[in-house]
Each structure stands twice: as C-alpha cells, then as structure tokens.
Amino acid sequence: MKKIIAIYPGTFDPLTKGHSDIIKRAATLFEHVIVAIAANPTKTPVFNLHERVQLAESVLAKLDDVEICSFDNLLVEFAKQRGAQVILRGLRAVSDFEYEFQLAGMNRKLEPTLETMFLMPAEQYAYISSSLVREIAGLGGDVSDFVHEEVRTALTAKLKLKN
Ligand code: ADP
C-alpha cells in the first residue's frame, strides 16, 4: 500500500468514543492521520475551538502518527496544504449516508484528486453522536459510556458554568 496521509475532519464538539474508534482504525491503515477540527462558528459549538483541540489532544495523546489540528478554511484547501490524499469520514447508519454522499460529491468536484473514504465504528459506538452526548449531559445524564473521562469532566464543568 502507498504511504497515504488521511485527514479526518469534523466539529468534534466534543470528541466521542465513536470518533476515537474511527481514528484508531485509521491509524493502523494510514501513514499519518490528521484530525482536523473545524472552527465551524455557524454551528455555535459548546466547546470553543481551543477547548475541542485540547480535549482531542488529551484523549488521543497515546496514538502514534495521529496529529490534531484546527482549520477555518475550505477543507479541500486545507487537505492540499497538508499533503493529504484521503478525506476520512465515519459512517454510523444509513441516515448518515445521504449527507456524507453529498459532501463527498462536492469535495470531489472541488478537488478531484482527493478521495473520500469511510470507516465504520465498532457496533457499540454506532449510535453515539456529539449532539446527543451534549443533550444527555445537559439534562444530567451519565455519558461515561459515550465519551472519555476528560471529556465527561469538561462537559460537566462547562454545563455548570452555563447554569
Ligand atoms: P461534522 O460536523 O463534520 O458532522 P462531527 O464531529 O459530528 O462533525 O463528525 C465528524 C465525522 O465523524 C463524521 O463523518 C461523522 O459521521 C463521524 N462520526 C460522528 N460520530 C461518530 C460515531 N459515533 N462513530 C463513527 N463516526 C462518527
């Protein structure tokens, strides 16, 4: 297999065990994996960009050849700047497909040399989403099965601050 750099973009608000499962799988397949955290101000994330990067760094610290970055430009431009040949996305269920299909198509139109590839998480992570995690934590539910300990602690602190 060729030496390929993959870029895994997302909002990661916050990083979940589903995301980290995808990243671990990718780290075994690609020479280098760039977790690219999108500024995404239109989504008004709960965690600011710096916090999302710090949480991802803390959770993924032990993984070799995995790098965490933030970006606020066009993904295909950022991928090109970083020498990535593959955009990596996670697929949980059929419901993800339509949006991901559209996104991959648009990105291919913008930059035909970049391939989008999809990985599926382990079954127990397939129903996890950052938005549900935020909602459950906001209502006082236990999210420890869905996120790593440092993320759970940060969520609790953030939500206390808001109330
Ligand atoms: P975005 O705003 O780009 O959708 P997310 O952080 O929600 O950012 O997701 C980034 C990528 O990770 C997307 O491809 C999404 O489908 C995937 N993803 C999200 N949650 C999971 C999960 N539990 N298992 C596998 N992939 C996931």
- pLDDT tens figures, 24-54: 999 999 999 999 999 987 888 999 999 999 9
Separation between Cα atoms, residue 45 and residue 7, nearest integer Å: 21
Query: Which residues are paired to 96 by β-bridges?
Result: none
Range of the domain at 18: 5-127
- Tokens 């990105």 label which residue? 107
- Asked whether residue 156 is assigned to any structural domain, the reply reads no
Average pLDDT score over residue span 121-137: 95
At 163, the pLDDT band (50, 70, 90 cuts) reads low
Q: What are phi and psi of 130, to 5 degrees?
A: -60, -40
Known catalytic membership, residue 134: no
Residues 9-23: tens digit of each pLDDT: 999 999 999 999 999
Residue 95 in any domain: the answer is yes
- 92 counts as catalytic: yes
On whether residue 35 sits in a domain, the answer given is yes
For range 69-98, the mean pLDDT: 95
Classify residue 116: in a domain, yes or no.
yes
Whether 160 maps to a domain, the answer reads no
What is the domain-level CATH number for residue 98?
Answer: 3.40.50.620
Query: What's the structural domain count of the chain?
Result: 1
18 domain-assigned: yes
For ligand 1, atom 4, the nearest C-alpha belongs to 10
Please choose, from the candidates 37, 158, 22, 136, the residue with its C-alpha nearest in 3D space to the C-alpha of residue 89. Answer: 22
- Kindly give the distance from the C-alpha atom of residue 91 to the centroid of ligand 1, in angstroms, as a whole number: 7
